[in-house]
Amino acid sequence: MECPPDRQVRVAEDLMEDSAYFWWDHVSRRRVDTGPMTWAEFRVLFLERYFSSAIQDQKYREFQDLQQGDISVQEYLDLFLSLSRYAPSLIATGVDRCRRFEQVNSALKAERNLLSGRTRQLDAGGPSQGPSKRLSTSGSESSGGSRPSSPYSDL
């Protein structure tokens, strides 16, 4: 939701229900002489009340220890983005974000390539229909049963 900065606190207030509304009513009545509250001030108070430092620390550690494991790259990406907001110091600069995210992005590309390769293979009749013809890295097809040249054959 896009909201001008001077309306953010008011919009948040309008969305509050039940105990959150009563808490906010109490807080705002105590602030009579201090002027309108900024979004940053509101956020600090709200998080202190509804998101304890223990939970914030737990989310920070979850982000710090995040590993893909058995989940898909897309699920890992979603977790990365969701948990990264709890660890801003770990991704404080663009360089830090790039370093942390580079592995996720590379894995996502590899997974997409793998999945698209499987789709093409199934469309072509699958592996049970005989060997597939692949182009060599030199750009020519192998012929006469000889193996295509490898860029690593000189090693």
Per-residue confidence at 97, pLDDT binned at 50, 70, 90? low
pLDDT of 21 reads 93
Q: Which residues contact 76 (CB under 8 A, 6 or more apart)?
A: 66, 68, 104, 107
76 belongs to a structural domain = yes
Q: What is the mean pLDDT of residues 80-86?
A: 87
Q: What is the mean pLDDT of residues 20-31?
A: 90
pLDDT of 18 reads 93
Q: What pTM was computed for the model?
A: 0.45
For residues 57 and 117, state if they share a domain.
Answer: yes
Q: Mind listing the pLDDT tens digit for each residue in 60-75?
A: 999 988 888 898 988 9
For residues 78 and 42, state if they share a domain.
Answer: no
111 belongs to a structural domain = yes
For residues 39 and 2, state if they share a domain.
Answer: yes
For residues 45 and 1, state if they share a domain.
Answer: yes
SS3 141: strand
Q: Is the pLDDT of residue 22 over 80?
A: yes
136 belongs to a structural domain = no
Q: What is the mean pLDDT of residues 95-123?
A: 72
- Expressed as residue numbers, the domain containing 2 is 1-50
The mean predicted confidence, pLDDT, of the chain is: 75
The number of folded domains in the chain is 2
Per-residue confidence at 26, pLDDT binned at 50, 70, 90? very high
* Six-digit token string for 124: 């072509």
Q: Of 50, 56, 48, whose CA–CA distance to 21 is shortest?
A: 50
* Six-digit token string for 92: 């404080």
For residues 15 and 42, state if they share a domain.
Answer: yes
For residues 66 and 35, state if they share a domain.
Answer: no
139 belongs to a structural domain = no
